[in-house]
Structures are given as structure tokens and as C-alpha cells.
Amino acid sequence: MLWYERDFLVQNWLFASGLCQLSHDFERGERIDFAGGGVRAYMEEVDVLPGVSLYRIDATGTGHFELAKNDTPAGGRLVLGCMLGGSGSLSMEGCEEQVWREEGRFYSLTPVRRAVHYDVRSNPYWRVVAIRLEANALSWLMQDNGLPDLVRDTLEGRVSDVAMAGPMTGPMRHLMGDLLRPTYSGAMRRLYQQSKAMELLVHQFDMLGGYNASGELGGRELARIREARERLVCDLRDPPSLDELAAAVGLSPKRLNAGFRSVFGTTVFDLLRDARLDLARELLDQELAVPLKVLAWQVGYTQPTNFITAFRRRFGVSPGAYRRKNSKG
């Protein structure tokens, strides 16, 4: 059974587990505790600065529950969050569902008159730190005029249909821990939350720096995509997986592949394959007496037959025939 200490009549957030449901209005109480299906958790909303609210969720145990918010207002609003643990999905009306199955996800939402729904499986925990920005935060956020396009356009009401997620960075993980387990209490606790929330916001803005409403690549995202290419071809025998590569540069796998298509005209996988085959041809041009099996291994193929097939498809001739042709001059 779900439980809570006070009876709130105004539905702000809806919590559900099995057949049990309850609603909570954070304007009437900053925190709610609930339990159900083997999971015990709390959720807290704190106003840290004008137009800036901090959410903290800490669920422990193994079980399934849902959170939903259906009464989002009109006007600019942006939610930037970080999640650790568990698995599940995050959806917002009119946008593609965001699914997570691994540790550490950063997400962005623009819940303007759109219902938001979290479907969570906690195992052995699920933790969230999120910052909600309202339009009135612009008055001080824009003093230096350095906001990412997504943030400015959302808070000014020009964007209202963004739901995206990607790998979370190491510094964001540390800041999550600081905010979930504050060092201070009393008045110092609120000041500590303000400083750490602003520090987290800096990292979140950096993650959004390459995004704009048109979906075109910005300067920071371009730099990350080029960095990803360098990381990918650095060791062709043991390259990072798509998920590892995306996490290393702070992009989602989907966004990274889209960026590769935009910048290099190909996917991450196809660029890796072509880099391997181009290196193989260079080695064959050097007329080195290396068995094809060894050559295949040198460029990252564990199966020589796969290497021969890929080489023939790319260059129209097998590597053996290519080497014989070169040796004849």
C-alpha cells in the first residue's frame, strides 16, 4: 500500500503502485513519503531561487511504481534532470518516449500543458535530482547572455515539445550525491542547496549547449562529435561500443549517430568499418608479407571471412586479389 502523512485534495503529482494511488500538491507541503511493492521513497520539491525549483527523489528497494503530473501550466518551463539506478521509461505527451536501462541518465523536458509520466522499476534503488526552470528565472539567468538556445527559447515560450535523454557525466553524478545527502542543515542547508543546484545547472546547460529547436548541430555538439570520431578510430582493434562512445562525449547514442550522419555522412558503425578497411588497403599497398588472417586482426576483425567479405564489398575485389594485382605493378 502507498502511504502518506497528510491528505492532499489538489492533484499535483500522482503516485501509483498496483491498485493504490495518491495525489500530492507540493505547494502545500514540500515533501511526500510513500511506500509500495517493496519500495520506500520520498520526493521533495524546494524553491531555491526565483523561478528555480529543486526536486529530489530517493527510492530504495525492488519494485514497480509510477509518477505522473497532469496539470502543467502554460508559459515557459524547462525540467533538467539526472537519474541513477533502476530502469523504466519517461514520457511526455506528443514526444518520443525516453527509455533507460543503465546507470546514469540526463534528461530534458518542456512540460508546457503536457502530461508527464514516469514508469519506474527500482532495483535496488532509483534516485533523481531535477531542476525546474520557470520563465521568471530569465531575469537573472540572461544577465551574461550565455544561455543555450534551448533554455532561452523554452523559457521565452518559443519551444514546447522537447523530451530527450542521454548519458550523464561524472561531475553530474557527484553533484547528485551532494544534493541527495546534504552536508549542512538549517539555514546553511538551503544555501548549500542553492550553490550545488547552480553548479549542476552549469553542467546541464553545457549538455544542452549544442541543441537548438531546429535540431541542427551547434558548436559544442560539433566538437563532441569530432571528439567521438577521434576516440572511435584511435584503436581499431578494440574501439568503444556505441553506448561507451556516447557516454564519453556526453551525447545520447541516437544523437551521436545523427551527428555522424550530419557531419560525416555515415553512421558510427559504418565509419568504423570504413576506417578499418581503409587501413587494411594502406597496409596492402605497403606490400608487407602479412597473412590475411593477421591483417584482419590488425584492423579489428576477429573473423577473416568477415574481413574478406567487407573488403570486397567496399573495393570490388578481395584483399588477396588486391595484393596480387599490386605486386604485379
Burial (CB count within 10 angstroms: exposed 0-12, middle 13-18, buried 19+), residue 281:
middle
Of 37-46, 94-103, 307-316, the range with the lowest mean pLDDT is 94-103
- For the chain, the farthest-separated pair of C-alpha atoms sits apart, in whole angstroms, at 88
DSSP code of residue 281 = H
Name the least confident of 99-113, 140-154, 164-178: 140-154
Provide the pLDDT for residue 10.
25
Q: Which residues, 6+ apart, have CB-to-CB distance to 103 below 8 Å?
A: 84, 85
Of the candidates 61, 55, 54, which has an alpha carbon nearest to the alpha carbon of residue 17? 61
Which band of pLDDT confidence, cut at 50, 70 and 90, is reported for residue 240? Answer: very high
Cell numbers at 259, concatenated:
551527428
For residue 323, the model assigns a pLDDT of: 87
How confident is the model over 180-184, as a mean pLDDT?
87
Which residues on neighbouring strands pair with residue 14, listed in sequence order? 23, 68
Return phi, psi of residue 275, to 5°: -65, -40
Band the pLDDT of 216: cuts 50, 70, 90.
low
**What per-residue confidence (pLDDT) applies to 7?**
27
Note whether 175 and 196 are within 8 A (CB). yes
Per-residue confidence (pLDDT) for residue 79, from 0 to 100? 94
**Mean pLDDT score of the chain, rounded to an integer?**
82
CB-CB contact of 256 with 228 (8 Å):
yes
**How far, in Å, CA of 210 to CA of 203, rounded?**
13
Grid coordinates representing 63 are 519494485
| Alpha carbons 32 and 24: distance in angstroms, whole number | 7
Beta carbons within 8 Å of 177's beta carbon, 6+ residues apart: none
9 has pLDDT over 70: no
Sheet holding 163-167, edge to edge: 31-36, 39-49, 52-61, 125-134, 77-84, 105-109, 163-167
Q: What is the Cα–Cα distance from 307 to 159, expressed in whole angstroms?
A: 47
Of the two residues 308 and 138, the one the predictor is more confident about is 308
pLDDT at 117 over 70: yes
34 strand-pairing partners: 41
d(CA 222, CA 260) in angstroms, rounded, equals: 9
Q: How far apart are CA 197 and CA 194, in angstroms?
A: 5
What pLDDT, on a 0 to 100 scale, did the predictor assign at position 18?
58
- 49 pLDDT more than 70: yes
Which tens digit of pLDDT belongs to each residue from 265-283?
788 999 999 999 999 998 9
pLDDT for residue 308: 94
Task: Specify the pLDDT at position 27.
Answer: 61
